[in-house]
Structure 1
């Protein structure tokens, strides 16, 4: 039996950017190389403060020869998407680019499970992109193991049954996501505080160090080339009562990290690498915490 599932992610929004300056406009803002986005390749990146701290992360797809689509956080009442839209509009200035919130036109869908990519792609490299009906399908640009992302026009979910995917829910998607160690925007990253390289953006293809200037580039580059990564967002297993987000993880009387999200008995935590070793006895509240390091994560040699 095929192990392929889909979940509609109602916490996601879609913004369209069209016009002749759409690529150059985003290129000066976003941490990744927007020039590589095409009909066959999608991307993942972030918008930072001028000081290099996290504001938004998102996926970028080519809708057609004149338009790009940004898939981003929606926020509980749409506020995160609205804030990103306002920020982009503020920076647009004289650029020949038009912005439109097209969230109501699309379902954003995650396809996951062992066979998630089988009926969608021949090439399963991250970011591989194609068409599905009147929508877009892409291998998750961060990590193929996460499956695929699909943007379909509303009322087109029958396409999911056509590829052999069974209906699931967003929580099942998030449980897999945290097990793999992938952040979900402001759920795990602190706005105006978090640093990309502490949260896996380099390994997950969310930063291009050769593309040239973008907002917040200086801190991101300095963090990499001076080896300043001392914390990492890592998957955790929770044995005991689920701690609240923000709960400190303790190793004896020393702070070893902070819980960033919890989904069932799994979650993500920002871990202070120097405080964690093979003999670590970690707790958060009344729960025992076990850290895992996914294969894709590259820790500093002194912390490996």
Structure 2
């Protein structure tokens, strides 16, 4: 399964990490165009005549909005409103929906949804036969249009066909995610590599951080309300749809203003990457939050996303002895209805 990555000159350091010898990969993405294997993400298909109804009862998205063009963000919650996974939802055909999420949550989410699948004449499949490939940079859009022979979509939309899908994600540089069959990966990536340097997927993860976009990992499964990662500010929660598991708790937190923690973006004054779950502490050593994502930027400093207490003035903060400098998020912390997003792009 890793042959196509090896052919590009890459190496797997773990199930979730790929590295290349390309120098200054984060800077390459800022100044040029790069490709990267997105091995930290995976694909789960929900298939069957009742697949849409199954998802409608379990996910925060208004499933009908996933129409083969708009590909909304979504999440799956426990009965207590804590996220089991967050994902992007695609519609592939009349009876097939596709979820893209962190690979560490594929099996748990699949097991969770399988409990309901027989009632909807549906099946679930973790798609190890598909590959996710990222393109970042100035020429990413033009390059994708030539290589895939399809017009790249708008952010949080999809284009392509049943075999290959392109998705546009937000970030400081233009970003496209391509989902394609494993059997095509080496040929496609090799052609793209003629015009775009291959870099490790840490570059993609860094741009997620800079976009204020947190993908849930096993470290925080069943621990956070969707609002704690600003999911409703990104259009990941529909407050206009009917019931789904956890909906009552999520809605109550929103309408009563009971969210006590929020996702923040920050930089650490140091080069040491904190572990997921590492505490963000005040000057007295009291924990006010924890790390949900961390990567080194183009200047060798750690950038993070952390879920942090919303109290007014926490004072000086640090992580593992490194001073925290809060940075501005690229979006307002206010409700963004996915229905509005879909209508605006119609």
Scaled by the length of structure 1, the TM-score of the pair is 0.85
Secondary structure of 2:75 counterpart: strand
Secondary structure of 1:93 counterpart: helix
2:131 maps to 107
C-alpha contact 1:237 1:290 (8 A) present in aligned 2:
yes
Aligned mates of 1:68, 1:144 — CA distance in 2: 29
Aligned mates of 1:18, 1:244 — CA distance in 2: 36
Q: Which of 160, 167, 172 is 2:203 aligned to?
A: 172
2:309 maps to 272
C-alpha contact 1:197 1:229 (8 A) present in aligned 2:
yes
C-alpha contact 2:168 2:177 (8 A) present in aligned 1:
yes
Q: Which of 105, 111, 126 is 1:86 aligned to?
A: 111
Question: 1:111/1:133 Cα in 2 relative to 1: closer, same or farther (>3 Å)?
Answer: farther
C-alpha contact 1:3 1:116 (8 A) present in aligned 2:
no
User: Alpha-carbon deviation of 1:43?
Assistant: 2.0
* 1:79-228 mapped onto 2 (5 Å cutoff): 80-103=105-128, 105-120=129-144, 125-131=154-160, 134-140=163-169, 147-157=175-185, 158-160=187-189, 161-162=191-192, 164-186=195-217, 190-228=220-258
Higher helix share: 2
Unpaired runs of 5+ residues, structure 1, are none
Secondary structure of 2:304 counterpart: strand
Aligned mates of 2:101, 2:308 — CA distance in 1: 26
* 1:58-77 mapped onto 2 (5 Å cutoff): 58-75=87-104
C-alpha contact 2:153 2:159 (8 A) present in aligned 1:
no
Aligned mates of 1:215, 1:290 — CA distance in 2: 37
Unpaired runs of 5+ residues, structure 2, are 1-27, 146-150, 297-301, 336-346
Deviates more, 1:249-258 or 1:3-12: 249-258
Question: 1:206/1:168 Cα in 2 relative to 1: closer, same or farther (>3 Å)?
Answer: same
Aligned mates of 2:67, 2:304 — CA distance in 1: 33
Secondary structure of 1:117 counterpart: helix
Deviates more, 1:223-232 or 1:146-155: 146-155
User: Alpha-carbon deviation of 1:59?
Assistant: 1.8
Question: 1:9/1:87 Cα in 2 relative to 1: closer, same or farther (>3 Å)?
Answer: same
User: Alpha-carbon deviation of 1:196?
Assistant: 0.4
Secondary structure of 1:81 counterpart: helix
Q: Deviations over 1:183-217 (max 9, x none)?
A: 12126x62222010110111212111101111100
Report the RMSD for the aligned CA atoms in angstroms: 2.7
1:20 maps to 49
Q: How many residue pairs get matched? A: 291
